[in-house]
Amino acid sequence: MFATIRKATVTLLVLCLGAAFAQGRLLRLDESAAGELDPAKATDYADSQLMFNVYDALVWADSGGNIIPHVAESWTTSEDGTVYTFRLRDDVTFHDGSRLTASDVVFSLERMLAIGQGFSYLFDGWVTSVEAPDDTTVVFTLSQPYAPFLASLVRLPIVNEDVVRANLQPGDFGDLGDYGQAFLSTNDAGSGAYTVVAHNPQELTVMRRFDDYFLGFAENAPDEVHLRYSLEAATVRALMSRREHDITSQWLPTEVLAALAREGFPIYTEGGTSVFYITLNTQRPPTDDAHVRRAIALAFDYDALISILAVTPDLSLGQKVAGPLPNGFPGADPSLPLPERDVAAARAELAQSSYGPSELTMDIAWVAEVPMEEKVALLFQQNLAEIGIDVNIVRVPWTLLTEQAANADTTPHATTVFVSSPFPDPDAQLYSMYHSEAAGTWLSMSWVNDERVDALLNQGRLETDPQERERIYHELQRRLLDIRPAIFGYDQFAAFAHQPNVVVPTLEDHSRSVGGVMGGNWLFRLIEVRD
């Protein structure tokens, strides 16, 4: 009872805070996860929605996943592939009115590497130096050729060095104190199209349009954006019906999304960047046995999973996927067969394992904030019971799951999870999930420690020839299918119900979508809230 009262109170508080800030054209949307505002720590989908609107990066991606200029208007690469020189635009200003310069880029990378969280792993060990010879030139020197480097710069948000230095608190970084972490947890120091007015990472972020943004705005772009967190599905539906909410998150239960569709709300879809996995912990019995993992993959009913995803006769939230990369994603192997259930083969595989019937007990965890995943867990439990594996279903809040993922012994045997690519390169999806040195995050809950996998991932990073890189990643996918660190469930189509007067061009017309970048289609300056 008290939990219900508290949840209702929190929801009311969110709505009241939103009403207090609202002015002009207002866009209201929600996300299931808490939003991380510090650009040195941000990693997931909700964080990306904040980062790509509040901060800018040197480069961006087009609909095909090709890297295009952003703050950097051009760049060159040395013959040996280790020195990248960027020429910056001279018309980009921060939210305080000061000009963005090369020194801010240097500071942003140094800060990210020092804090050592978020996407720092993309640059740590690769960038040996970053320099600013003048205000519009940035030079990165790498320890060795790193094929994903250019694409990875999508994930280097540029912070205002002066603002951060003016807001230091005591901390572990010498003269730099806490490196501005306390300040940037609730404030911004960006140059993006929107500036943060208020931020509560558990409830609400309020952003206001930055009129001096260098790329401009759509004609009816929102003046203010309210990003709400962890609203109940019933609350979202009620708010949509009352026209007090504009775009739902992608995490609504299918039945709620279907109900909204029946009520006349249009549905936007987004695909090409995310795969739904059931990760299998390769370090805990009994899923430490490859025969058990192969048996699980053979016993799982992929067709039933796709049926669960049906929203309307014409709309599904996913399609079968052959391997760990989304269909059509850079590096995906189109020759791989789509998975099919084979119970007899699963039983034969299980018979080869080192575990007897009494030892075949395991847990599957599903993310508490994503109700659809409970249905997947129930299907998993039912399927595995047919081959003699006893499955216990555990509902785990996202924040707790990320804590559990830090240690192999506390990571569940199986976990339902969406993984989206942070930038358009196969390394972005695969290295952080399957390299042994990347273990210990929610991305790597399979805890893979395989010499061949490590070798192929290392080769893929160093190889600059496109055809050879493709061959490497095709071999890698075949190896992963053999050792089975996960069930590759489906290529996700995220679906968002929206008010008819809200137009999101990157989702309305998929030829205009940002390719291969998690959260990249949520550029609020391009969205229109029409009268």
pLDDT at 234: 95
261, 311 contact by CB (below 8 A): yes
CATH 3.90.76.10 domain range(s) in the chain: 56-177
| Secondary structure of residue 453 in the 3-state scheme | helix
pLDDT at 82: 95
pLDDT at 115: 97
Query: Residue 398's Cα: distance from chain center in Å?
Result: 14
Q: What is the DSSP string of 299-317?
A: HS-HHHHHHHTEEETTEES
486, 321 contact by CB (below 8 A): no
Helix-strand-coil split of the chain, %, nearest 5: 35, 20, 40
pLDDT at 21: 52
Q: Which residues of the chain have pLDDT under 50?
A: 1-14, 17-20
Torsion angle, alpha carbons of 62, 65, 69, 74, to 10: -140
- List b or e across 312-322, with b for residues whose CB sees 16 or more CB atoms inside 10 angstroms: eeebbbbebbb
- Provide the 10 A C-beta neighbour count for residue 360: 20
CATH 3.40.190 domain range(s) in the chain: 1-54+192-248+499-531
pLDDT at 3: 37
Q: What is the 3-state secondary structure (H, E, C) of 57-116?
A: CCEEECCCCCEEECCEEEEEECCCCCEEEEEECCCCECCCCCECCHHHHHHHHHHHHHHC
Q: What is the DSSP letter of 211?
A: T
Homologous superfamily of domain range 271-493: Dipeptide-binding Protein; Domain 3 (3.10.105.10)
pLDDT at 253: 87
**Record: fold of 56-177:** Dipeptide-binding Protein; domain 1 (3.90.76)
The architecture of the domain spanning 1-54+192-248+499-531 is: 3-Layer(aba) Sandwich (3.40)
Q: How far apart, in whole angstroms, are the C-alpha atoms of residue 227 and residue 522?
A: 12
Residue 92 tokens read as: 């980009």
Location of structure tokens 């964080």? 47
- Provide the 10 A C-beta neighbour count for residue 260: 23
Alpha helices in 369-450 (DSSP H): 372-385, 398-404, 426-434
Name residues whose C-beta falls within 8 Å of residue 2's C-beta, 6 or more positions apart in sequence.
none
pLDDT at 370: 86
Name residues whose C-beta falls within 8 Å of residue 379's C-beta, 6 or more positions apart in sequence.
300, 301, 304, 305, 308
